[in-house]
């Protein structure tokens, strides 16, 4: 487990949330076909899963664009040049991660079986343990009181 920002910066290039996200999707599809257990959302209601999926994609793109406009890195643990507090960052400190979770939640509904339901909580835990905790410590060291104020005003997730 990474404990310091300098150790975090030494992470392998493939240790990024989108890779974990892609693996989560593959696991969900694999569980749907390989271990469906039971249908929990019948057709055509399962199509409603597209709603959180689209919302999640939109939220993640919105967050990424705010980072790009501010000229700061999107990649976790890369040097931060700006504390982004506008756009989706007004109501969540992690809009891109939240977007990924919304996509996975929507995929559970879209697939409609019980097997994939285990993946979003595991993904959430991995994001928290591997990225969020360390990123927040890095931001606090880098931005100090300004980040502490932001943390008090804006919730981590919702």
Asked if the structure places residue 1 within a domain, the reply is no
Q: What is the pLDDT of residue 30?
A: 97
Residue appearing with tokens 């990924």: 100
Q: What percent of the chain has pLDDT over 70?
A: 91
Asked if the structure places residue 112 within a domain, the reply is yes
Asked if the structure places residue 4 within a domain, the reply is no
- Nearest-5° Cα angle at 135, 102 to 18: 40
Confidence of residue 3 (pLDDT cuts 50, 70, 90): very low
Asked if the structure places residue 5 within a domain, the reply is no
Q: What is the pLDDT of residue 80?
A: 84
Q: 39 has which bridge partners?
A: 113
Q: What is the pLDDT of residue 1?
A: 37
Asked if the structure places residue 39 within a domain, the reply is yes
Asked if the structure places residue 21 within a domain, the reply is yes
Residue appearing with tokens 């240790």: 15
Instruction: Taking residues 71-91, report their average pLDDT.
Output: 89
Asked if the structure places residue 145 within a domain, the reply is yes
Task: Tell me: pLDDT of 9 over 90.
Answer: no
What is the domain extent for residue 45? Answer: 16-153
Residue appearing with tokens 């959180």: 52
The domain total for the chain is 1
Residue 56 to residue 52: CA distance in whole angstroms = 6
CA distances in angstroms from 106 to 15, 34, 110, 143, listed in the order given = 24, 19, 6, 35
Q: What secondary structure letter does DSSP report for 79?
A: P
First-last CA distance in the chain: 26
Asked if the structure places residue 121 within a domain, the reply is yes
Instruction: Taking residues 89-108, report their average pLDDT.
Output: 97
Q: pTM of the predicted model, to two decimals?
A: 0.90
């Amino acid at each position: 487990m990474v404990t310091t920002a300098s150790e975090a910066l030494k992470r392998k290039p493939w240790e990024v949330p989108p890779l974990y996200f892609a693996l989560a999707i593959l696991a969900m599809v694999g569980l749907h076909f390989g271990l469906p257990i039971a249908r929990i959302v019948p057709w055509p209601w399962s199509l409603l899963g597209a709603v959180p999926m689209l919302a999640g994609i939109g939220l993640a793109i919105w967050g990424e664009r705010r980072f790009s406009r501010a000229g700061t890195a999107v990649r976790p643990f890369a040097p931060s040049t700006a504390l982004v507090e506008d756009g989706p960052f007004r109501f969540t400190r992690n809009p891109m991660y939240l977007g990924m979770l919304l996509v996975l939640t929507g995929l559970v509904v879209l697939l409609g079986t019980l097997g994939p339901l285990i993946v979003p909580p595991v993904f959430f835990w991995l994001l928290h343990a591997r990225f969020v905790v360390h990123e927040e410590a890095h931001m606090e060291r880098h931005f100090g009181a300004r980040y502490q104020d932001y943390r008090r005003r804006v919730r981590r997730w919702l």
